[in-house]
Every structure is written in C-alpha cells, then in structure tokens.
Amino acid sequence: MTDVSDSTEPVPPGGAATLPAEPASAGDSAVEQEAVVDLLAALAYGELSAFQRLAEDATLAPTLSDKAAIAGMAVAEFQHFQRAAGRLEELGVDPDVAMAPFVGPLNAFHSATMPTDWLTGLIKAYVGDGIAADFYREVAAYVDEPTRDLVLDVLRDTGHAAFAVERVRAAVAADPHLAGRLALWARRLVGEAMVQAQRVAVDREALARLLVGGTGDLAEVGQMFARITAKHSTRMAALGLSS
C-alpha cells in the first residue's frame, strides 16, 4: 500500500528537482545508474511486500466488504511490483538480484511491527507505507525523468489512505479509549520505519551520494528525514491521533 497524502514532488535543497547542468563524468553516470537501480529495486520489493501484507490483512477484516476492499488494494500493489520489476528488466537488471539488498531491512521492519488486529494493521499500512512512499519520492526527485515518472505513478494511492483514515476515525469515535493505544502503536511504527529507511539511505552508497549531491554531507540526509517526519505528523492528524 502506498500513500499519497502529499503527492507533490520533493525539491532538492537549493533548487529544482533536476540533475546537475554540467556534463556528468563517467563515474557520476555510473553512480546515478546504480542509484536508479537501487530505487527501483527498493520500490519493487516494497510493493511485493505490500501485496503480501494486504493479503494477510484481509483475513483480519471484520466484514466481507472490507475483505473485498483490501483484496482489491493487494491486487493493485502486485501490479505496481510488476511495473517496477519490469523496468529493471528493461535496464538489463535481474530484479531478484537487485531486490536482494532490501529484503533484510524491509523484513526486519515487518518482523518488528506485526499487527495484532484489524486496526493496527490499517495503521501500519497507512503510516509505514506512507513513510516509505515519502522516502522513494525524495530519491526520485534526483533521477532521470522516465524513472521519476514511473516511481510517482506507482506511488499513487490505491485508495487505502482514505479507507484507513475512515475506519480508524470511526473506531476511535465509537471507543475513545482506543486513541492512546493506536497513537502509541503509530509512534512505534514511525520509529522502526525511520531506522530502516536510514539504514537503506546510508548503506547504499549510490543512493546516499545521489541524495547529498556528491558532497558527502550527510546532514542533507538528515534534512530529508525531517521532511518525512513532518509529513508523518500530517498523517497522524488525519487519523485523529497524536503524533
């Protein structure tokens, strides 16, 4: 599941979301290409994981209409996976090999944040996938236009954002005591998600260099995560929960 509560393309600090105007060196081009592959691979595995998780969440749904809605969103996520994996193949890259470095971080996040019921599953998809989507958008702002367009299109909302907000707000209205527990769960989710996103951003050298413009200034990465955190607060407000 992806979230597009703010689908505006992020702008790199100091200017528009474009590559440097001066001719790139062969080394720069190689780093950029590696970063594109990393971005598409992370996105592909994220969408595959979202498909699997939504299929599991459907079993927790309280009504048949909820089950059907979640199943439809899962199908959309699998189609997103196919698009990202297909683009990797067009670039001459084996999707399985490209996705391998991202299996550990994403699986670690999911293992540490197993939902216990229908509502925690909804919040996990809304909050966790929202943070992931913001991260992908940040990186996409620095890559070539065809890749950026594909990433932003794949990140378009499948309808889960509004679905999650409606269900969670209704549940809290019916039982206000849920608010504290769900807010605490969301804070745990954002902490785990940020840890894993930072791990990917720093461990994948090509992505890190792309994000900091080749300067090696990791403070720029910190500013990126500050923007992502601000968007998380907006999502929490939409849920009617404290961030």
What does the DSSP assignment read for 95-143?
Answer: HHHHHHHHHHHHHHHHHHT---SHHHHHHIIIIIHHHHHHHHHHHHTTS
pLDDT of 17 strictly over 80:
no
Q: How many CB atoms lie within 10 A of CB 28?
A: 16
In a domain, 11, yes or no: no
Each residue's pLDDT tens digit, 63-94: 999 999 999 989 999 999 999 999 999 999 99
- pLDDT attached to residue 80: 93
Q: How far apart are CA 141 and CA 17, in angstroms?
A: 5
The answer for 137, left when phi > 0, alpha when psi is -120 to 50, beta otherwise, is: alpha
In a domain, 82, yes or no: yes
How many Cα neighbours within 13 Å face the side chain of 77? 26
**Domain CATH number, residue 56:** 1.20.1260.10
Give the dihedral sign, CA 31/197/125/174. Answer: negative
Average pLDDT of the chain?
83
Domains: count for the chain: 1
- pLDDT attached to residue 30: 79
- pLDDT attached to residue 6: 43
Amino acid symbol at 121: G
- pLDDT attached to residue 157: 76
In a domain, 17, yes or no: no
In a domain, 3, yes or no: no
In a domain, 5, yes or no: no
pLDDT band at residue 28 using 50, 70 and 90 as cut-offs: low
pLDDT of 219 strictly over 50:
yes
- Domain span including residue 228: 26-239
| Helix, strand, coil shares, percent, the chain, to 5 | 75, 0, 25
